[in-house]
Amino acid sequence: MIKRMLIMLIAVAVIIGGMVGFKYMMAAGTKEFLKNQPEQAQTVSTVKAEMQEWQPELSAVGAVRAINGADLAAEVSGVVESVLFESGSDVLQGTILVKLRSDDIAAQLRALEAAAHLAQLTLDRDLKQLQGQAISRAAVDADTAALNSAKAQVDAQRAVLEKKTIAAPFKGRLGIRQVDIGQYVNAGTPIVTIQQLDPIYIDFNIPEQSLPQVAEGQKVIAKIDALPGMVFEGEITAADAKIDEATHNVQVRATFKNPEFKLLPGMFAHIAVSIGVPEKRLTLPLTSITYNPYGNTVFVAGKEDKGALVARQTFVKLGPVRGDQVSILSGINEGDEIVTTGQLKLRNGTPLTINNEIQPKFDPAPKPEDK
């Protein structure tokens, strides 16, 4: 009985060993077979690296600011008697916008004017009497002082009356009115904003090291997030007289024509300042670059000894970027054929099939497409 069990165990062990050995031989054979098979070619698009004219630029971000802008408010308190403007309208300098109730102030002014007139008559009479020595010089001096005081009170009251009227301090566009007829407003209560929009400023900051590269009259290009696809041209008109000690930046101001009032104060702007003279640089589409922590690479399509077209990965040093283009400082040569799409399925030596029917964007100044 024991003998029979031993024979069965030995038989089972032989069978299991045979199965394992068979699987191992099959796996090794498959691996050797795949190793000897040629690698399948991968379809990619390519572009030849070319030298292009490149205008060096200084990039910055800034904010739009009105050439003149103010939030109008009453200097004195009172009740709004009339509102003489429409929200969003354009007005000329001196246009009356709001009047506060001023009947009591006007009445007080008339009383003071009457007192001043009486003081003038008294002084005139004193001067005639002084010629006949019927009055003393001291009395004339006292009446002169009384007249001057009365006139000063008239001027002060007239100034208060004028403050009951709010007028446009300059030509510009009004915002939304903040008061209503019959409303009581305290001194300093905002009434409406007025902004002079043409021309208009864009203020931006640049590092202090870049200050020697900018000068008055230099061309500036601005793009606004709120106005996609639009480009505005202006010029530098001023730079601040000091550098910020905390950031070591300096504020620069550019002036832009704005006849259609598209640029509004507070808008966020992307600024590009042309610096230096145009130069030739090797350029590639941004999609051709593979970004890695250990360095940026591209795949060059080249022929090996047998004549087949294969991928060769190479490190590149990148320069400035403009739109869909990036400048290459080193790593490839002019005329090299560079893979622009399909890099994820490539490695060194991967055979290539080129299909350039569809190419990635390669525009130095791309614009959004309306769909």
CATH, residue 260? 2.40.30.170
Structural domain includes residue 240: yes
If asked whether residues 302 and 290 sit together in one domain, one would say yes
If asked whether residues 232 and 327 sit together in one domain, one would say no
* Res 14: pLDDT: 59
Give the H/E segment covering residue 330.
strand 325-330
Amino acid type, 158: R
Structural domain includes residue 12: no
pLDDT of 210 strictly over 90: no
Could you check whether the bond before residue 259 is cis, i.e. omega within 30 degrees of 0? no
* Res 349: pLDDT: 82
Structural domain includes residue 178: yes
If asked whether residues 82 and 179 sit together in one domain, one would say yes
Structural domain includes residue 100: yes
Report pLDDT digits (tens) over 288-298.
Answer: 888 888 889 98
Q: Which of 148, 165, 185 is the last residue of a domain?
A: 185
Structural domain includes residue 212: yes
Instruction: Give the ranges where 216-286 is alpha helix by DSSP (H).
Output: none
How far is 227 from 260, CA to CA, in rounded Å?
13
What is the domain range of residue 337? 42-54+279-354
In the chain, the number of structural domains is 3
If asked whether residues 90 and 179 sit together in one domain, one would say yes
From 106-115, 314-323, 327-336, the region with the lowest mean pLDDT: 106-115
If asked whether residues 318 and 346 sit together in one domain, one would say yes
Report pLDDT digits (tens) over 16-36.
Answer: 765 655 565 555 544 454 345
If asked whether residues 226 and 287 sit together in one domain, one would say no
If asked whether residues 175 and 237 sit together in one domain, one would say no
How far is 13 from 20, CA to CA, in rounded Å?
11
If asked whether residues 240 and 213 sit together in one domain, one would say yes
Please tell me which residue, 33 or 131, carries the higher pLDDT value.
Answer: 131
Confidence at 155, pLDDT banded by 50, 70, 90: confident
* Res 257: pLDDT: 92
If asked whether residues 148 and 217 sit together in one domain, one would say no
Torsion of CA 154, 160, 164, 165, to 10 degrees: 70
Torsion of CA 15, 20, 22, 27, to 10 degrees: 170
How far is 143 from 190, CA to CA, in rounded Å?
44
From 18-22, 37-41, 149-153, 226-230, the region with the lowest mean pLDDT: 18-22
If asked whether residues 85 and 170 sit together in one domain, one would say yes
How far is 323 from 34, CA to CA, in rounded Å?
44
Please tell me which residue, 41 or 198, carries the higher pLDDT value.
Answer: 198
Please tell me which residue, 294 or 134, carries the higher pLDDT value.
Answer: 294
From 30-44, 210-224, 256-270, the region with the lowest mean pLDDT: 30-44
Q: Which of 185, 214, 237 is the last residue of a domain?
A: 185
Please tell me which residue, 324 or 220, carries the higher pLDDT value.
Answer: 220
Structural domain includes residue 366: no
If asked whether residues 201 and 62 sit together in one domain, one would say yes
Structural domain includes residue 23: no
How far is 316 from 42, CA to CA, in rounded Å?
23
Q: Which of 137, 164, 185 is the last residue of a domain?
A: 185
If asked whether residues 88 and 123 sit together in one domain, one would say yes
Q: What is the DSSP string of 55-105?
A: --EEEEEEEEEEEEEEEEE-SS-EEEEEE---TT-EE-TT-EEEEE--HHH
Structural domain includes residue 167: yes
